[in-house]
Structure 1
Amino acid sequence: MREGHERADRRALRRERRGRAAAALVVAAVLVGAPSFTGCDDDSDERAGGRSAAATQRPRPKPTPLWDTSPGSIAALGDSITRGFDACGILTDCPEVSWSTGTDPQVGSLAQRLLKDPARSSWNHARNGARMADLPGQVAAAVTERPELVTVMLGANDACRDSTALMTPVAAFRADFETALKRLRRALPKTQVYVASIPDLKRLWAEGRQSAFGKQVWRLGICASMLSEPDATDQASADRRQQVYDRVVAYNSALREVCGKDPLCRYDGGEVFRYRFTGAQLSRWDWFHPSRNGQERLADMAYRRITARE
């Protein structure tokens, strides 16, 4: 009998030990899964409106600057197009008809449409023959006036060279535009920029070659890479013109991409490049640069883009 009781006692002891072990595992699991007092405190602080250290250190996104559709001053940068070259007389500038800062009411420049006092709050820094490499210098001149809007129409002369081999490489064109925009942004972080696309030079050749007088003027050296031997139809001439066309397309892509990285820069979306200039919009002296009518069309396109609410 005693042996039977001892065996029963041993079985009871083993069951008790197994029960204690199971209870210990349950307690351990509860403790591991339970939130710490610190976590509870953080939770209650956030519910009460407090902030944890991690939340305080989290960077906040900067608000996107708002585009002002009514800037108070304008500086024009660019080349002979913005100078109104050959719009009023042969081989002469006519800045009063400039699409950006002109004073001719027939054109209705941006300055006339946007500014209360165009004569005192607009400046034209464009220069005949300017290429993209000249833009940083034009920016340096413009920042002294602290314009609220800068217009840029530049790049035709990078493609209009004596030969296609002399056209500005796309990488250099892009780098010069980036440098100019960075220089402007460092000096005037809130100034807005409107960038016009380069016109389709092949389209201008197709229109201008209809004028015998215009072709005579082209012999003086205007955009030789595109306009030399204007009536030639051989494959080499066609290939040369296509090279110029392709380079302008690449330049416009660079303008779009660089401008697109700046929230205060608006590219025209290629509207000038796509515009189908006719004889009415081309100078009657060189059949290449915009006439008064052409300058008006450029002003129309720029005004729509600058005043668009996006």
Structure 2
Amino acid sequence: MRRRSHRSTAVLAALAAAVLGVAGCDAVGGDSPGPDGTEAKQVKPKPTPAWDRSPSSVAAVGDSITRGFDACAVLSDCPEASWATGSREDVDSLAVRLLGKAQAAERSWNYAETGALMADVPGQMAQAVARKPQLVTVMAGANDACRASTSAMTSVDDFRTQFEDAMSTVRTALPKAQVFVASVPDLKRLWSEGRTNPLGKQVWKLGICPSMLDDADALDAAATERRDTVQERVEAYNEVLEEVCAKDRRCRFDGGAVYEFRFGTDQLSHWDWFHPSVNGQARLAEIAYRAVTAKKA
């Protein structure tokens, strides 16, 4: 009986040790206490935002608007009045707003060309990326619609391919560079505003945007159809700009802000009543700055 009692005691001790051992274990293992409260939550680092609202350098590509054509003198470029990279205080360009005047003089570059089509933008972009800018601005497409006739306008498919080539150029060379894309202006509104000025209409006869501005006072069915055709093409171009830009996480389209801006006579050049004046360039700079510095596109 005593021997059996000793054996029973040993079995109970072993069972107790086993139970206590199981109770002392947890999901972490060993003798470590289990996590509780905030200790159980892992702190994840915040992702770096894709869009930097304060880039340190700016390059511009595009056409006569970005060159400040007719803003300062008749039939002349005036890059110092450019909405994108200009130095004039009464414009307060995008580059100056982002970088400050001193830095903008050293860290901004304008490769736009008067008369440029979207087909020219990939080449301009190749020049721009050589500077390694953190932000590239694009404003092009007006000249693709401003042709000798509606049949000569750049097709929508070609326009898309050319813009995709431009985006590919910057993305291949500078994977992290940002691109701001401005919409094509409302050319029909520019005709409507400018046609009230006799001098402007005389300058138009020199060959400024004939598809829209020829026979400026004509309101017959043929003239109306011609202008509507140009307008529809501009709207199609803007859809392309938006769609292609949306595929790139470091690209921002202006949401049609330039197209929707209601240029008045104060915002139009008093030499040709079609291109932006200094005041108009300042308004474009405001639109671009709001888009680039917005928290969300």
2: CA distance, partners of 1:148 / 1:176: 22
Question: Which letter does structure 2 place at the counterpart of 1:240?
Answer: R
The code of the aligned residue for 2:206 comes to L
Between the aligned partners of 1:202 and 1:72, the Cα distance in structure 2 is 36
Q: Counterpart of 1:74? A: 58
Letter in 1 for 2:133: P
The equivalent position to 1:284 in structure 2, one of 250, 270, 282, is 270
Q: One-letter code of the match for 1:94?
A: C
What is the aligned partner in structure 1 of residue 91 from structure 2?
107
What's the counterpart of residue 230 of structure 2? Answer: 244
Q: Take 1:260 and 1:133, find their aligned partners in 2: how far apart are those partners?
A: 20
1:294 to 280, 284, 290: 280
AA matched with 1:106: D
State the one-letter code of the partner of 1:298: L
1:100-179 aligned at under 5 Å gives the runs 100-116=84-100, 117-179=103-165
- Report matched runs for 1:157-236 at 5 Å: 157-236=143-222
Residue aligning to 1:97: 81
| Aligned mates of 1:306, 1:65 — CA distance in 2 | 14
TM-score by length of 2: 0.83
Measured against aligned partners, the alpha-carbon deviations of 1:155-211 in whole angstroms (never above 9, x if no partner) come to 000000000000000000001001110111010011000000000000000000000
Q: Bigger CA drift: 282-291 or 116-125? A: 116-125
Q: TM-score, normalised by structure 1?
A: 0.80
Give the number of the structure whose alpha-carbon radius of gyration is greater: 1
Query: Structure 1: how far apart are the matches of 2:184 and 2:134?
Result: 23
> How high is the sequence identity, in percent, across the aligned residues?
62
How far residue 111 of structure 1 moved from its aligned partner, in angstroms, is 1.1
- In the alignment, is the contact (CA less than 8 A) between 1:65 and 1:263 conserved in 2? no
- Give the AA of the match of 1:277: F
Aligned-partner Cα distance in 2 for 1:221–1:65: 46
Alignment partner of 1:123: what SS? strand
Q: CA deviation at 1:66?
A: 2.2
> What letter corresponds to residue 100 of structure 1 in structure 2?
A
Tell me which amino acid in the other structure corresponds to 2:203.
V
Match for 2:176: what amino acid? K
Unaligned stretches of 5+ residues in structure 1: 1-46, 50-62
CA distance in 1, matches of 2:168, 2:73: 37
Residue 275 (structure 1) aligns with: 261
**Cα RMSD, aligned residues only:** 1.2
Q: Which runs of 5+ in 2 are unaligned?
A: 1-26, 30-46
For 2:48 and 2:226, the matched residues in 1 are separated by: 44
Letter in 2 for 1:256: E
The letter of the residue matching 1:115 is L
Q: 1: CA distance between counterparts of 2:167 and 2:180?
A: 11
Letter paired with 2:192? A
Task: Report how far residue 48 of structure 1 moved.
Answer: 6.5
Task: Give the distance between the partners of 1:103 and 1:209, measured in 2 at CA.
Answer: 31
Task: Give 1:262's aligned amino acid.
Answer: D
Contact 1:65 1:264 (C-alpha < 8 Å) held by counterparts: no
